[in-house]
Amino acid sequence: MHGAARLVPLDQFQGSLGQRVYHSLRSAILTLSYRPGEVIRKPEICERLGVSRSPVADAVARLASDGLVDVVPQAGTFVARLSMTDIREGAFIREAIEVAAAELVATQITDDQLRELRRNLMIQEALLADGDQQGFMELDGQMHEMILSFTGFPRLPQVSQTAWLNVHRARQLILPVQGRLATTLAEHRAILAALEARDPVAARHAVQQHLRQLLTYLHPLERERPDLFSVQGQP
């Protein structure tokens, strides 16, 4: 089934028509419904979403600005292949932000905020037990966003999310790796334990260890699935 057939309906998103088309396409790319290197056929998207070409063209232009789409003159529009350079850069930025955030939050976290994190972790456990990978990923993302928001700096979650776009796509590829989600849950528990102890050094270490695991899984994948990755200097 091609990507357009798996686009999320527009009524699942908020905002203007153009924003909803953008978010539908973005979601399909980030969850790999559109695979790296796949052709984006605008007429199929228009038909699937029931919209004219204009909002689709605007959405594609915005996705190209995000680095998620490559528009190649005389050839077509393609989902951008994964780049290990971009992934390493995004992971570096995300680690710098989140490690500092965890260290700060550990010194000021409230009991109510800890309860929010515990509830999130309980739902993660339930989703893992049910084998709901995408649901687990959503709660994973929410946990990270909560910790960033607890710093009191309102722009941090968006800055971190922007840096993480290509890393998020790459993470989808390692979901089927046996035991990876269970390991992720254990890493999340370690982060929560450090915050409960209000120990900034432990919180820093737990977040750092958690975020650095990703690249250890991706380097072998780059060798096994070169079709999904760009060659340096080529789209």
Spans of all domains in the chain: 3-79, 84-228
User: Strand, coil or helix: what is 51?
Assistant: coil
Amino acid (one-letter) located at 108: Q
> Residue 3: its pLDDT value, please?
61
Continuous segment of H or E residues that includes residue 69: strand 69-72
Over range 200-226, report the average pLDDT: 87
pLDDT at 217 over 70: yes
Measured distance CA(167)–CA(95) in Å, rounded: 12
Name the H helices within the chain.
17-30, 42-49, 53-66, 84-106, 111-130, 133-149, 156-163, 165-174, 180-196, 200-224
Answer whether 81's CB lies under 8 Å from 228's CB: yes
> Residue 43: its pLDDT value, please?
92
CATH 1.20.120.530 fits domain 84-228:
yes
CATH 1.10.10.10 fits domain 3-79:
yes
User: Strand, coil or helix: what is 115?
Assistant: helix
> Residue 233: its pLDDT value, please?
42
> What pTM was computed for the model?
0.82
Tokens of 32: 């790999």
Q: In this predicted model, what pLDDT tens digit does every residue of 169-186 receive, in sequence order?
A: 888 777 667 788 899 999
> Residue 39: its pLDDT value, please?
92
Q: What is the mean pLDDT of the chain?
A: 89
Answer whether 96's CB lies under 8 Å from 164's CB: no
> Residue 7: its pLDDT value, please?
87
